[in-house]
Amino acid sequence: MTSRSRSYNMSMIKSKNTKPEKLLRSLLFSNGYRFRLHDKNIPGKPDIIFKSKKKVIFVHGCFWHRHKGCKYSTMPKSNIDFWKVKFEQNINRDLKVQKEIKASNWNFMIIWECELKKLTTLPRKIIDFLCKD
């Protein structure tokens, strides 16, 4: 793949309203949950926000956010030094956002992209998170 076509492919990757996000939103909505999206006033602009519960959900892509042990968390074969730095920055930003969320007295949950492929256990995990005080 040429660097030009690679650049184009990377530019087409969205950060909001991704397929995993939409799938989770659909699951939540069909189970009666109502929520807000991407509030810039909450650290990290969470994907899904339950203001009355002070809870947020982040939908993380396994590749971009480096889901440990996941088969989708692969390392590209070219330009490895760039990717190492990029992934390290993503991980550090995620940790910083998580600390800020906790400091703001909000609770958060991370749903990994690969978890959305296992819809048998995910609804229970989400309900437990939302119902827990």
Please report, in tens digits, the pLDDT of each residue of the chain (133 residues total). Answer: 777 776 777 666 667 778 889 999 998 998 889 999 999 999 999 999 999 999 999 999 999 999 999 999 999 888 899 999 999 999 999 999 999 999 999 999 999 999 988 777 888 888 899 988 6
Q: Is 36 helix (H, G, I), strand (E, B) or coil?
A: strand
Return the closest-CA partner of residue 59 out of 86, 36, 101, 25. 25
Please, is 112 exposed, middle or buried when counting C-beta atoms within 10 Å of its C-beta (0-12, 13-18, 19+)?
Answer: buried
Instruction: Measure Cα distances from 54 to 20, 48, 96, 109, 124 in Å.
Output: 22, 11, 18, 12, 19
How many CB atoms neighbour CB 76 within 10 A?
A: 13
Task: Provide the pLDDT for residue 120.
Answer: 79
Task: Provide the pLDDT for residue 124.
Answer: 86
d(CA 88, CA 81): 11
